[in-house]
A and B are shown apart, each in its own frame.
Chain A
């Protein structure tokens, strides 16, 4: 919806953003091509996770925080496990970390396929949604659903189910999947990798508005390989710090129009970005050969600053996740203990992983019986809110000559570039929310 203001300005307002996870609205006011107000309004109701985690046992966050998000529950489970194990001074063996990575690959495959094919591609191909798109491009939609299913199948084998997996515990897993079980999904993951390669080619051919993003990027970086389930923090301006220092670099603050906290990096008023673009730009040297070749064939350099091209980066990450999953499956041998004991002790612990949408940070304070006294969760979409708004501002100013309909559509597309997960972002503790 768009209307004129009495002073000659214009307002563009979309009350319910479609094809995003959760409930949000977009509100933009502009005057002679100059934007006076931009708000990504998050009206998704707060659910107060950080409040009710207090008083729970240190074994409970993997099951409880999974429920923050049905699309990336493994991200929550993984960051929670790292943080609690850190608080208790336990380091899990390499095999358990590998199995976490494998489960996480399943989530990347499922979530990225959902976004690339069902949520984002319809913007580029000119449809309201994937079901409408399927009438003209059945092969494209079928390919997307096939990749998505392979991700879900992988999560089911490792985690028991794809939404809120049951097999994850602090210290590892309840039961290790056997080599035979893992082999049972191998063929589907291999096909998904081939489908993902074809996807990179397909989306690289889309039309992208010319727009470069000047913002700081933040991502994890691992000792080896592309960052998925773990790493320490790096930024595009050369910053590097341990996960436990995240709270001293990233400060959250509350703005009136959003039920999700915004975030600032090192006190800078400029937005920073987490997610596929940041991850890729800070780690493209760490991609597998297959994913690097796909990226290069798609015309991606080592750094990507056009948010509209995030769909290409997601497709490259699909190749990476499938390749990694196959590597872990092929190298797996039975006989690994599913978990290590994590006896409680008083302390503070920190954990982070790369959710499909970007860096997800958890912090817990435990008492000597393992009861949680304080919990803090910083989800990726909160961190990206400021850059979404900055993109909208730039976009409206650059394309003010477009008609209302085209401009509104492009703005919606700019929001979907971030694959925002609004359910994730809205969970904070502060009860004094002013929603007016």
Chain B
């Protein structure tokens, strides 16, 4: 693998043989960076192709930036993180977000809805009092992002593809179609058509390999919305299958709750009882 240095900061390449990799953590569960360590067969070859320069979960050694590739896990939830993500951008030639937290705000973005309910008529009484921000936001709300990898958690093969593409200076081959395409390819029986099981597959971004239907379960949207999701249509189908309005709200309001299509659809079904807010 070789890095195409035709764009970006060439001085990084000038004094280092191998491209450098940094892994950063914000508010998250550690699962997406664990995916890198779960590449058991590829980890040592990867460490040969890239210089793992900053990855506190794996090593005490720190190589000073700037870095050719930064993987960012987690969402932005504190004032300190607001500053740190700017620093990460400054020292990164390519910044790639990994997972639903960094890409869509994660499950901790459920606070975004809670605040709306709780502080409806109060405009941030004491923002200085909370070291935590009232909203959890994706990295792209604060800095430019070169690529967003979806999933809660991300898929290990997609992570390796994104790293290989970064090394080769090409666009990662990550399809943006729905889980349904993967499900058909896999030859699984449609759980909605055959069994009437509610499934978010038609509106959910591919990447997991359509895992849930192979376990007789409907998709629950870990990878967030696909490129052109018709959430209204799927919501109508969920209702036909017997889901109540609060249940429809909740199914859109999990790990990608703050992604625009899922947020809008969940709010459309929110009832006066506000069952879903803490």
Residues of A whose CB lies within 8 Å of any CB of B are: 16-23, 43-48, 51-57, 60, 63-64, 67-71, 73, 114, 118, 122, 128-132, 134, 138, 141-142, 145-146, 148-149, 152, 160-164, 166-167, 169, 173-175, 338, 371, 412, 421, 423, 431-436
**Once the chains are docked, how many angstroms separate the CA of A54 from the CA of B276?**
8
Q: Is the CB of A71 within 8 A of B34?
A: yes
Residues of B within 8 A of A167 (CB): 215, 217
Q: Is the CB of A423 within 8 A of B28?
A: yes
Q: Is the CB of A70 within 8 A of B215?
A: no
Smallest CB separation, A162 vs chain B (Å): 7
**Once the chains are docked, how many angstroms separate the CA of A291 from the CA of B273?**
55
Please give me the 3 A-B residue pairs with the lowest Cβ-Cβ distance, nearest first: A70-B31, A129-B59, A435-B131
Residues of A within 8 A of B58 (CB): 18-19, 118, 129-131
The chain B residue with its CB closest to the CB of A134 is B44
Is B61 interfacial (CB-CB < 8 Å)? yes
Smallest CB separation, B192 vs chain A (Å): 15
Smallest CB separation, B172 vs chain A (Å): 20
Q: List 19 A-B contacts (CB under 8 A).
A: A19-B56, A51-B111, A63-B220, A67-B29, A70-B33, A70-B34, A71-B31, A73-B31, A118-B58, A129-B60, A131-B43, A142-B44, A146-B40, A149-B41, A163-B153, A164-B31, A164-B153, A164-B222, A436-B131
**Once the chains are docked, how many angstroms separate the CA of A18 from the CA of B62?**
10
Is B211 interfacial (CB-CB < 8 Å)? yes
Is B206 interfacial (CB-CB < 8 Å)? no
Q: Given A46-B132, A164-B31, 19 more contacts at CB 8 Å?
A: A18-B59, A19-B59, A48-B108, A48-B110, A55-B276, A56-B250, A64-B254, A67-B152, A70-B33, A114-B37, A163-B35, A164-B152, A166-B211, A174-B212, A174-B217, A371-B275, A432-B129, A433-B131, A435-B78
**Once the chains are docked, how many angstroms separate the CA of A436 from the CA of B129?**
10
Known: A70-B31, A128-B59, A129-B59. A166 touches B215 (CB 8 A): yes
Q: How many contacts A-B (CB < 8 Å)? A: 170
Residues of A within 8 A of B61 (CB): 128-129, 132
Smallest CB separation, A427 vs chain B (Å): 9
Interface secondary structure of B, over-half rule: loop
Residues of A within 8 A of B56 (CB): 16-19
Give B200-233 as 1s and 0s: 1 = Cβ < 8 Å from A's Cβ atoms.
0000000010011011110010100000000000
User: Given B47, B77, B129, which contacts A131 in the complex, CB threshold below 8 Å?
Assistant: B47
Smallest CB separation, A414 vs chain B (Å): 15
Q: Is the CB of A51 within 8 A of B44?
A: no
Q: Is the CB of A166 within 8 A of B217?
A: yes
Q: Is the CB of A118 within 8 A of B37?
A: yes
- Most chain-A CB neighbours within 10 Å: which of B29, B114, B129? B29
User: Given A16, A22, A134, A163, which contacts B38 in the complex, CB threshold below 8 Å?
Assistant: A163
Known: A21-B57, A132-B61, A161-B211. A67 touches B255 (CB 8 A): yes
Smallest CB separation, A405 vs chain B (Å): 12
Smallest CB separation, B258 vs chain A (Å): 12
Is B30 interfacial (CB-CB < 8 Å)? yes
Q: Is the CB of B59 within 8 A of A52?
A: no
Residues of B whose CB lies within 8 Å of any CB of A are: 25-35, 37-38, 40-41, 43-44, 47, 52, 55-61, 77-78, 80-81, 106-108, 110-111, 114, 129-132, 152-153, 208, 211-212, 214-217, 220, 222, 247, 250, 254-255, 275-278
Smallest CB separation, A127 vs chain B (Å): 8
Residues of B within 8 A of A46 (CB): 132
Known: A47-B107, A160-B214. A423 touches B30 (CB 8 A): yes
Residues of A within 8 A of B47 (CB): 131, 134
Q: Is the CB of B43 within 8 A of A51?
A: no
Residues of B within 8 A of A152 (CB): 38, 40
Smallest CB separation, B120 vs chain A (Å): 16
Q: Is the CB of B278 within 8 A of A128?
A: no
Q: Is the CB of A166 within 8 A of B212?
A: yes
**Once the chains are docked, how many angstroms separate the CA of A48 from the CA of B247?**
21
Smallest CB separation, A336 vs chain B (Å): 14
- Most chain-B CB neighbours within 10 Å: which of A145, A163, A164, A175? A163
Q: Is the CB of B29 within 8 A of A52?
A: no
Smallest CB separation, B178 vs chain A (Å): 17
Q: Is the CB of B34 within 8 A of A47?
A: no
Smallest CB separation, A240 vs chain B (Å): 33
Q: Is the CB of A70 within 8 A of B29?
A: yes
Residues of A within 8 A of B250 (CB): 56-57, 60
Q: Is the CB of B40 within 8 A of A148?
A: yes
**Once the chains are docked, how many angstroms separate the CA of A55 from the CA of B117?**
13
The chain A residue with its CB closest to the CB of B29 is A70
Q: Is the CB of B30 within 8 A of A51?
A: no
**Once the chains are docked, how many angstroms separate the CA of A425 from the CA of B194?**
42
Residues of B within 8 A of A435 (CB): 78, 131
